[in-house]
Amino acid sequence: MSADIDRPAWLGPYRLEGLLGRGGMGEVHRAFDTRRGRLVALKVLPAELAHDEAFRVRLRRESDNAARLQDPHVIPIHDFGEIDGRLFIDMRLVDGVGLDRLIAAGPMDPRRAVALVTQVAEALTDAHAHGVLHRDVKPSNILVTGSDFVYLADFGIARALADDATALTRSGATIGTLAYMAPERFDGGAPDARSDIYSLACTLAECLIGRAPFDATSLPSLMKAHLTSDPPRPSRIRPDVPPAFDEVIARGMAKDPGARYPTARDLAAAAQYALSQWGPLPAAAHAPAPAPAPAPAPAPTPAPTAIAPVAVRGRSRILALVAGAALLAAAAGGTGFALGRTSAPASVQAAPTTVPPAPQPPSTASPAAPTTTPRPSSNAGPIAMGGERAPAYVYTVESNYPVTLFYTDSQGDQINATSVPAPWRLEVDTSAWGADATPSLTVGSTSTKGDTTVTCTITDDQGTVVATQTRESAYASASCAVFF
């Protein structure tokens, strides 16, 4: 039992089944919600915060805002409130580890670092579009599943605490938070989305160099470093990191908020471009020679370099077909994507690709708001029960820039790369996936020539569109996701 938080067997309707973690912001328990019959992650805040009326009001407001976020990379909040004098937040239970623990094992392969940070960027971009700031983006608030699907945690609690410097200090979370805090927050300036972008750049830097951006260990020295010291240059610390990442980190961690990337998605797009400057990706000795045409093989385990594996029911895995986002040298544009599924591996066959007319210049019209079709009902998904055949799905990517696809093996080593013009089409036979199979598709597209538009669509074997989304961006990067 901790000194400041009692851990009874029960907290109201929640049966506490084990401590998942403890920090300055409280304890997180694996708990069973007897009202709804489900396992959850239950964060119980320090007892003294329940007596702070101003904090209680902020927590309710920010938790309510965070609960409305629908991005798949944000841990859903089920409920929040107070039970027996303790403030709590009921969240989805995620089977994953903190990014900080992965980094503790050593610097990451740049491909994996970019893949993980790209997913965090999507969560932040969606939150910022809804007027929600995180204010505590750092590796320990990022959970990574076994398939490298990423969740960003602690939206509500981080914002509520950040509004109260006394509460933050009292929580004991100061050092861990300040290591990633934007300079303007030390000067009393009002934080905005660019403050989160600074923290995301710090996180990317830590993934690449294996430590926090600044070595300072005391509060004064840490504050001074953020205010006056140059950001780290990953390529000087790790020769195997492309030098283009130095500029990504420098801009993302710029002292002047106005000099940073305008959105988290733009930072991710710049990181993807930096990755493309690596040249041919290192291949393992056992990797087969590149094939002349796309022919991805099913993989028994997830590829760790997936850009954004989409959340699905059951134990998530990723097809051996994984896309890396890269820019074509000739077309100055590219698209990366990932397919999601559950259950056993499926056979994958690429349908004949229709070559469209040459890509047209990006539209100069103002970027339109994202449009998404309503999620279909649960019976729209694949069915493999009672001897019935689950439908095949057709995944279609349309973009105003050509598509660059990277095929990798189960270890993430490149075995083939090919370029095809958009739209790109893939037909997947999902009949072997099992009853809980869920079609999903995530796409990211970047260019260096103005507006970018990307559309991803899933069509069943009857020709019915079950999910589609279009994204337009004036910042030369766009991404979309369809899933249910």
Q: pLDDT of 430-450, one tens digit each?
A: 655 555 555 555 555 555 445
Catalytic residue set: 136
* pLDDT of 54: 82
Q: pLDDT band at residue 473, thresholds of 50, 70 and 90?
A: low
**What pLDDT was estimated at residue 285?**
29
Which pLDDT value is given to residue 376? Answer: 32
Predicted TM-score (pTM) of this structure: 0.57
Residue range 93-110: mean pLDDT, rounded: 95
Across residues 227-255, what is the average pLDDT?
Answer: 96
List C-alpha distances in Å: 376 to 414, 438, 444, 467: 35, 11, 23, 7
pLDDT above 70 for 403: no
**Range 303-319 average pLDDT:** 29
Bigger pLDDT: 463 vs 346: 463
Confidence at residue 278, expressed as pLDDT on a 0 to 100 scale: 72
pLDDT score at 191: 85
What pLDDT, on the 0 to 100 scale, is given for residue 65? Answer: 80
Q: Please name the residues in contact with 480: beta carbons below 8 A apart, sequence gap of 6 or more.
A: 370, 442, 443, 454, 455, 456, 469, 470, 471
**In 109-163, beta strands by DSSP E:** 142-145, 150-152
Q: What is the mean pLDDT of residues 255-267?
A: 96
User: Which residue is it, tokens 């002292």?
Assistant: 255
Sheet holding 142-145, edge to edge: 96-98, 142-145, 150-152
DSSP string, 198-258: HHHHHHHHHHHHSS-S----SHHHHHHHHHHSPPP-HHHH-TTS-THHHHHHHHHT-SSGG
d(CA 111, CA 453): 24
- pLDDT for 450 equals 52
Of 183 and 427, more confident? 183
- Flag whether 255 is marked binding: no
Q: Measured between alpha carbons, how far is residue 75 from residues 23, 92, 311 in Å?
A: 18, 6, 11
- Range with the poorest average pLDDT among 259-273, 311-325, 339-353, 414-428: 311-325
**pLDDT (0 to 100) of residue 276:** 85
Find residue 335's DSSP bridge partners.
445
Tell me the average pLDDT across 127-140: 91
Percent of the chain with pLDDT over 70: 54
The pLDDT assigned to 40 comes to 95
Predicted confidence at residue 352, as pLDDT, reads: 35
Per-residue pLDDT reduced to its tens digit, 162-181:
444 444 444 444 545 889 99
72 or 386, greater pLDDT: 72
